[in-house]
Amino acid sequence: MPALVYGLMLFAVPEATSIPEEFKLRIFYLVVLSTLLIPMVTIIGLRLSGMVKSLHMPTIKERTVPFIITCIYFVMTTYFLYQKSDLDEILWKGMAVISISVLILSVISFFWKMSAHMTGAGGLLAVVLVLGKNFPTFNELTPVLLGVFLCGVIASSRLYLNAHKPLEVYIGFFTGFLICWFGFSFIWG
């Protein structure tokens, strides 16, 4: 989801950031690498080592180490972008909001199995709505419809696969949505 958020910020709504064009693709690749590819490879490594029995991580105990590692990657990415704040503060502030949602998700996951997929989907939908609210040139209709559709597909699949109970899906969605709504509204407000 961070890759989709940064894709929107950097390419779909160019006025959302003052990043020079020559840096946008590199920043996007950095976000994809540090918040998607490296955590994914790490979790697969944990699975292969036997530390995690299944990539589905059905129990709270199995989610602990992967979520902590993911938090570390997200916080490191935020710090790296903070070091580059001379480009535009939106880089690190946006990643900080996303990192906060992942940290809250992880803390809650120590005690209860909230849907991480829905936390990300809810956050993405919130970012689309905040972009539409703050940038009149952004035609938000299609992204909002796609975001709502994506949220529905993810929620339905999590429930269909018995990966979560309905409350875990709803709380995950609203947690991600609220954190990103307020965080990104503050950034662009």
Look at residue 86 in the predicted model and tell me its pLDDT. Answer: 83
Look at residue 155 in the predicted model and tell me its pLDDT. Answer: 96
Is residue 180 within 8 A of residue 122, CB to CB? The reply is yes
Look at residue 64 in the predicted model and tell me its pLDDT. Answer: 87
Is 180 exposed, middle or buried, given 0-12, 13-18 or 19+ CB atoms closer than 10 A? buried
Residue 40, C-beta contacts closer than 8 angstroms, at least 6 positions apart? none
Look at residue 60 in the predicted model and tell me its pLDDT. Answer: 81
Look at residue 56 in the predicted model and tell me its pLDDT. Answer: 76
Average pLDDT for runs of 10 along the chain of length 189? 93 90 92 94 90 79 88 95 87 96 94 94 97 92 95 95 93 97 94
Is residue 114 within 8 A of residue 108, CB to CB? The reply is yes
Look at residue 84 in the predicted model and tell me its pLDDT. Answer: 81
Q: What is the domain partition of the chain in residue ranges?
A: 2-188
Look at residue 68 in the predicted model and tell me its pLDDT. Answer: 92
186, two tokens: 């503050």
